């Protein structure tokens, strides 16, 4: 499990306000996918995921003020990537039976 925290936002910025939570518990996220929209004194920006996987816990809500380093979400790393992995061996198994089928029509 990976904990996503509020990264350093620049010199003298110690907190931000959560405007929107862009994902929910159970959602599969990719690296660099926006998770939250936050606002500081100087800018509005997205907080991207640093890990691919499934969101298991959202620790913040819109309207909440959070400090740099505070836990935003917990992500089960690799959980979303585990589903495509079994598909690859299945795809490799399909061409193996196709090779004998190609040989059979070549004989007559």
Q: What are phi and psi of 73, to 5 degrees?
A: -150, 160
- For a pLDDT cut of 70, what percent of the chain falls above it? 72
Higher pLDDT pick, 16 / 107: 16
Q: CB–CB of 61/73 below 8 Å?
A: no
Architecture of domain 2-103: Beta Barrel (2.40)
Interatomic CA distance for residues 51 and 64, integer angstroms? 23
Residues 6+ apart with CB under 8 A from 70: 5, 6, 59, 60
Kindly write down the DSSP assignment for every residue of 45-89, as one continuous string. Answer: EEEE-SS-EEEEEE---TT-EEETT-EEEEEEETHHHHTHHHHHH
Q: Is the pTM of this model over 0.85?
A: no
């Amino acid at each position: 499990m990976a904990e996503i925290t509020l990264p350093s936002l620049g010199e003298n910025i110690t907190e931000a306000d959560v405007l929107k939570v862009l994902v929910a518990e159970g959602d599969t996220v990719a690296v660099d996918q926006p998770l939250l929209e936050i606002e500081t004194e100087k800018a509005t920006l997205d907080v991207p995921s640093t890990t691919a996987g499934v969101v298991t816990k959202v620790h913040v809500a819109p309207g909440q003020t959070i400090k740099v380093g505070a836990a935003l979400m917990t992500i089960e790393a690799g959980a979303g990537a585990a589903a495509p992995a079994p598909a690859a061996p299945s795809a490799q198994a399909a061409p193996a039976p196709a090779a004998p089928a190609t040989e059979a029509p070549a004989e007559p």
